[in-house]
Amino acid sequence: MLEELKQRVYEANMQLPKHGLVTFTWGNVSEIDRESGIFAIKPSGVDYEKLTPEDMVLMDLDGNKVEGKYNPSSDTPTHLELYKAFPKIGGIVHTHSPWATSWAQAGRGIPCYGTTHADYMYGEIPCVRNLTKEEIDEAYEKNTGVLIVEYFRDKDYVGMPAVLCKNHGPFTWGKDGAEAVHNAVVLEEVAKMAARTEMINPRVKTAPQELMDKHYYRKHGANAYYGQKE
Ligand SMILES: [Zn+2]
């Protein structure tokens, strides 16, 4: 069932090694069919070269496997919490891409130093805290999702489609799996440029608010004018 969804999720997963975002089997993409409430996700620990569309695992939002011969990605409970709490998203990516993960390991959000960042993400890309020992022991992957959801409770998860988990790595999302991958690639580039920016000028300041606003809102929202009319 949901063959087109599995095909899309397979293709989105294959974009991760292509863009240099994953090593070995680290990383996963999922996409949800909102009508049925079923999402497709990469199986756990299967090499990218061996992956086929048929290998994608179908899950429901109660955490039951609906279809698939493999176990789903171990990060599935994190994806599930994000789908339940963020109704406007349709795809999620998790990687250990090195530049974004370096910021996560340093325990720092990524300040907005330029328009590449501002075009896609509004303001500082947040880094959420470590889970407590109790949270890790109770349900590590689920509580990672709960923590992200808690952070965004009073914030705009559409304007900020990325988060860093301290000492771990990034999650990104979008309207579908392909857009979530796109945002993961942008995040990695922005993370790399921000690190170099601070290396060149350790006293650098964030980009001016009016410049960030101009770049974000010319691409997003009611008055967007970037690109071609559909
Ligand atoms: Zn991870």
Active-site residue identified among 119, 140, 151, 217: 119
Distance 170 CA to ligand 1 centre (A): 8
Residue 17 within any structural domain of the chain: yes
Q: What is the pLDDT of residue 227?
A: 84
Distance 204 CA to ligand 1 centre (A): 30
- Model confidence pLDDT, tens digit, residues 62-97: 999 999 999 999 999 999 999 999 999 999 999 999
Distance 44 CA to ligand 1 centre (A): 12
Residue 222 within any structural domain of the chain: no
Residue 228 within any structural domain of the chain: no
Q: What is the pLDDT of residue 230?
A: 61
Distance 96 CA to ligand 1 centre (A): 6
Find the mean pLDDT for residues 15-23.
Answer: 94
Residue 185 exposure: Cα atoms within 13 Å on the Cβ side: 14
Residue 62 within any structural domain of the chain: yes
Length of the chain: 230
Distance 227 CA to ligand 1 centre (A): 34
In three-state form (DSSP H/G/I as H, E/B as E, the rest C), the secondary structure along the chain is CCHHHHHHHHHHHHHHHHCCCCCCCCCEEEEEECCCCEEEECECCCCHHHCCHHHCEEEECCCCEEECCCCECCCHHHHHHHHHHCCCCCEEEECCCHHHHHHHHHCCCECCCCHHHHHHCCCCECEECCCCHHHHHHHHHHHHHHHHHHHCCCCCCCCCCEEEECCCEEEEEECCHHHHHHHHHHHHHHHHHHHHHHHHCCCCCCCCHHHHHHHHHHHCCCCCCCCCCC
Q: What is the pLDDT of residue 223?
A: 86
Residue 223 within any structural domain of the chain: no
Is residue 217 part of the annotated active site? The answer reads no
| Domain extent at residue 27 | 2-217
Q: What is the pLDDT of residue 148?
A: 98
Structural contact between residues 91 and 176, judged by C-beta atoms closer than 8 angstroms:
yes
Q: Provide the percentage of residues in the chain whose pLDDT is more than 90.
A: 93
Find the CATH number of the domain harbouring 169. 3.40.225.10
Residue 226 within any structural domain of the chain: no
Number of domains in the chain: 1
Residue 96 within any structural domain of the chain: yes
Tell whether the model's pLDDT for residue 30 goes beyond 90. Answer: yes
Q: What does pLDDT average to over the chain? A: 96
Is residue 140 part of the annotated active site? The answer reads no
Residue 230 within any structural domain of the chain: no
Dmax of the chain from CA atoms? 55
